[in-house]
Structure 1
Amino acid sequence: MKKRFILKNIVIASSLLAVANMSFAAEHKRFSVSAGWMHVMPQGKANPFNINTAVDPKKQYGIGDISQSSFLGSITDTATMDDGQGIGNNMLAKPFLTQIFEKDATGGNFAQLLELLVDNDNPDSAVSGAMTGTTQINGIDQWTAQGTGLEADDVDTLGLMFNYYLNDHVSLQLMGGIPPKVDIKGKGEIVANMTGLATPGGFLSPLFPNGLEIGKDIPITNLGNKSKAASVRAWTPAFEAQYQFGKAGVNKFRPYVGAGIMYAHFTDIKLDSQVNKDLVAAGHMVQNILDNQSGAALDGKQSSASPYVKVKTDDAFAPIVSLGATYDITEKWYGVASVSYSKMNNKTTIDVVDSKTGNRLIRGTSKIDIDPLITYVGVGYRF
């Protein structure tokens, strides 16, 4: 009887323990979902664009016809002449040529020089390609546009949090929300600092036996004077493991910490219309140079190409950490607030491509430091 009594008690105790464990599992291994306001504040700063073009700095390109203003504007202030005969040696080239182009220079040798220099068949009185010759072009093949870049603006969206509780303290969380449209601010002006050495032709050739120094700052586009340089839709889910302090059913207020990984994917990228127009014009400039029409490039004329702009952003993974708390309103309903930070960056690539040939005329790349600080306030339900 005594053994039977002991055995019966053991069975009862084991059953109660099993029921208790099942109750624990039912209470703590469960799901919760919350929804609320999510505010994303990128903390990163702009990084300069690195730009490459199809122009070969080792190659001589034909200049062709060029307007008088662009011709004079491309000559450096320090460029000098040297006819090899001691006449006009070390004379500054720009003042001399400017005198020739002045409207009141109608008499004497100036009128004859102007007649030789200018293409009289051209209604714009362009300097003849026979006189401009060829040029080597440096500075626009590749450069870093210091003081430029892109920065993501603050954004608000509906946030969603899904949790699975492994036990009373540890849970796995998937954080997301409705993918917001993010404005991308631009910074600075992209300018190509063109330099080179021209080899004039015709009667100008003897005056510049060592070449004619050229140099001109060519504005490409101003990113900083636009309300936004681009917009993009951001998909940024995050997965975290979290540890929650306190005890369920005892502490209504329970802080928690979390760490995990965040993923970013970007779609619907749209450039500002003026930026897009400027980049297309830059594509024409490069193609004109490749077509041995560098004068047309400086005059901003259309080329044989049909440029279009293509923008791509790389996907990114980054670590994320969170600090938050829940407050039980009822057994199942609760309020939640958190702040998270992710050290995230990605690369943006902007290509200008000729749709006729598929040739890439220009490529610009920049790293965007997003580094978002994310605040969230919501209401949740456990089940």
Structure 2
Amino acid sequence: MSNSQLLKKLAIASSLLVTANLSYAEGVKRFSVSAGWLHVMPQGKANAFNTSTLVKNGHISTVGIISEEAFVNSIDPDFISTDPDTGATFVAKDILIDIRDAGALEVFVGDGQGNVRADETGIARIEGLQNWSSAGTGLEADDVDTLGLTFNYYLNDNVSLQIIGGIPPEVDIKGKGEIYAPLSGHATLTPGSFSDGLFPDGLGLKQAIPVTNLGNKAVASTARAWTPAIEAQYQFGKSGVNKFRPYVGAGIMYAYFNEIELNSSIESDLIAAGHMIQNVLDNKAGAALDKKLSSADPSIKIKTTDAIAPIITLGATYDLTANWYGVASVSYAKLNNRVNIDVIDNNSGNRLIHSSTKIDIDPLITYMGIGYRF
């Protein structure tokens, strides 16, 4: 390499070095860290649970033995029956209630233990349990506090990249509303039986079967939230000149949830619902309505989806010394994810029930901390 070429390369390198130094005036720090109080206030509202089961619309199940109470409660209150002798019409459920209250139901179709005999009940065509949406239900995340941590790398005196993290907090998830299974269909009573003679057209079925009440629990579920974020930030003012320097930022947040625990009472309700579905599949619709144990061994699996969301920030720093500073900010992330709850039969591996809802978290996040530049 000639001397002229060497001098040319040294001149270019010197120019680049000077340019870099000009963009980073004396005393400007390239890194900073801060720690402080992070307060998260979810702004989203609950969304309805959508539920499906293995009982398809039109499924035929033998009713079998059933309690008088469950038998009467399952009848559609608007179903009209016709007297086979006179042709007169009447509300079937009203007549059944009168017969039950007079004790005649036990006399003519009972087994002596408060049940309607299996030889009277016939079969039922089940509708409504394949899938449905439960309006007025859902889940909402509660406010939470934790230790927040930030790390900044300054590209120059005004522009930086910031990583936002902290100690992952345990979040309380509150429930809203009550979930009902909308049973409907038609019962065909055993031919030649007393019931068949009284209701030759069978009986319409319609009942909102309580599954679980989410709203009367202090906490429906808990989960640990991991929500790191990365932002590009622009800070106004100039180091060494302006002690108070506002900034704006925009970036993305990643959300991951684990250590999910479902309220034990809700879990028990869902296991009972799993037994109900299995009893219908086992040709024991009466046992299902009486909420008896089935041949299944139900267990609960709950999982949330990961999420990526945009995040924006307004904040400011105030220099306490050349290195130490105070910082405060408010951020908003358009964040939502989905919760999936499954009732699985451990014996067969079948998913008896699947229920899902979207959680609109949409957190407003405030942060106050102390930082150090180096």
- State how far apart, in whole Å, the 2-side matches of 1:358 and 1:283 are: 13
Q: CA deviation at 1:139?
A: 2.0
Q: CA deviation at 1:29?
A: 6.1
Give the equivalent residue in structure 2 for 1:93.
92
Decide whether aligned partners of structure 1 residues 16 and 331 sit closer, same or farther in structure 2, where only a CA change above 3 A counts: farther
Q: CA deviation at 1:89?
A: 3.8
Give the equivalent residue in structure 2 for 1:364.
355
- Give the 3-state SS of the residue equivalent to 1:301 in structure 2: coil
Q: Pick from 169, 175, 198 the counterpart of residue 186 of structure 1.
A: 175
1:159 aligns to 2:151 (yes or no): no
- State how far apart, in whole Å, the 1-side matches of 2:14 and 2:254 are: 46
Decide whether aligned partners of structure 1 residues 82 and 22 sit closer, same or farther in structure 2, where only a CA change above 3 A counts: same
- State how far apart, in whole Å, the 2-side matches of 1:88 and 1:299 are: 34
Decide whether aligned partners of structure 1 residues 117 and 30 sit closer, same or farther in structure 2, where only a CA change above 3 A counts: same
1:28–1:165 CA contact under 8 A, matched in 2: no
1:118 aligns to 2:117 (yes or no): no
- State how far apart, in whole Å, the 1-side matches of 2:47 and 2:17 are: 60
- State how far apart, in whole Å, the 2-side matches of 1:136 and 1:27 are: 81
Q: CA deviation at 1:216?
A: 1.3
TM-score (structure 1 length as normaliser): 0.89
Equivalent residue letter for 2:37 = W
Give the equivalent residue in structure 1 for 2:297.
306
- State how far apart, in whole Å, the 2-side matches of 1:286 and 1:158 are: 45
2:224–2:259 CA contact under 8 A, matched in 1: yes
Q: CA deviation at 1:18?
A: 4.8
Q: CA deviation at 1:57?
A: 1.3
1:29–1:166 CA contact under 8 A, matched in 2: no
Q: CA deviation at 1:118?
A: 1.9
- State how far apart, in whole Å, the 2-side matches of 1:282 and 1:21 are: 68
Decide whether aligned partners of structure 1 residues 292 and 379 sit closer, same or farther in structure 2, where only a CA change above 3 A counts: same
- Give the 3-state SS of the residue equivalent to 2:90 in structure 1: coil
Equivalent residue letter for 1:310 = K
- State how far apart, in whole Å, the 2-side matches of 1:362 and 1:51 are: 7
- Give the 3-state SS of the residue equivalent to 2:82 in structure 1: coil
- Give the 3-state SS of the residue equivalent to 1:364 in structure 2: strand
Give the equivalent residue in structure 2 for 1:58.
58
- The one-character-per-residue Cα deviations of 1:36-55 (angstroms, maximum 9, x if unpaired) are 00000000000010111111
Give the equivalent residue in structure 1 for 2:137.
148
Give the equivalent residue in structure 1 for 2:75.
75
- State how far apart, in whole Å, the 1-side matches of 2:71 and 2:137 are: 29
Q: How does 1:193-342 map to 2 (within 5 A)?
A: 193-201=182-190, 202-342=193-333
Decide whether aligned partners of structure 1 residues 21 and 197 sit closer, same or farther in structure 2, where only a CA change above 3 A counts: closer
1:28–1:166 CA contact under 8 A, matched in 2: no
Gaps of 5+ in 2: 1-9
- State how far apart, in whole Å, the 2-side matches of 1:335 and 1:62 are: 72
- State how far apart, in whole Å, the 2-side matches of 1:310 and 1:21 are: 56
- State how far apart, in whole Å, the 1-side matches of 2:150 and 2:225 are: 17
Stretches of 4+ aligned residues off by more than 2 angstroms: 14-29, 76-84, 86-89, 91-102, 113-116, 202-211
Give the equivalent residue in structure 2 for 1:7.
none
Equivalent residue letter for 2:215 = G
- State how far apart, in whole Å, the 2-side matches of 1:20 and 1:166 are: 13
- State how far apart, in whole Å, the 2-side matches of 1:260 and 1:17 are: 30
1:172 aligns to 2:161 (yes or no): yes
- State how far apart, in whole Å, the 2-side matches of 1:191 and 1:15 are: 75
Give the equivalent residue in structure 1 for 2:119.
130
TM-score (structure 2 length as normaliser): 0.91
Q: CA deviation at 1:156?
A: 0.3
- State how far apart, in whole Å, the 1-side matches of 2:23 and 2:250 are: 25
Decide whether aligned partners of structure 1 residues 119 and 32 sit closer, same or farther in structure 2, where only a CA change above 3 A counts: same
More strand by proportion, 1 or 2?
2
Bigger Rg, structure 1 or 2: 1
- Give the 3-state SS of the residue equivalent to 1:91 in structure 2: strand
- The one-character-per-residue Cα deviations of 1:13-70 (angstroms, maximum 9, x if unpaired) are x979956844854754611100000000000000010111111112211111000111
1:347–1:367 CA contact under 8 A, matched in 2: yes
- The one-character-per-residue Cα deviations of 1:166-203 (angstroms, maximum 9, x if unpaired) are 00000000000000000001011111221111001123
Give the equivalent residue in structure 2 for 1:3.
none
Equivalent residue letter for 1:48 = A
Q: CA deviation at 1:125?
A: 3.3
- State how far apart, in whole Å, the 2-side matches of 1:199 and 1:325 are: 73
Decide whether aligned partners of structure 1 residues 93 and 37 sit closer, same or farther in structure 2, where only a CA change above 3 A counts: same
| RMSD, matched Cα | 2.2
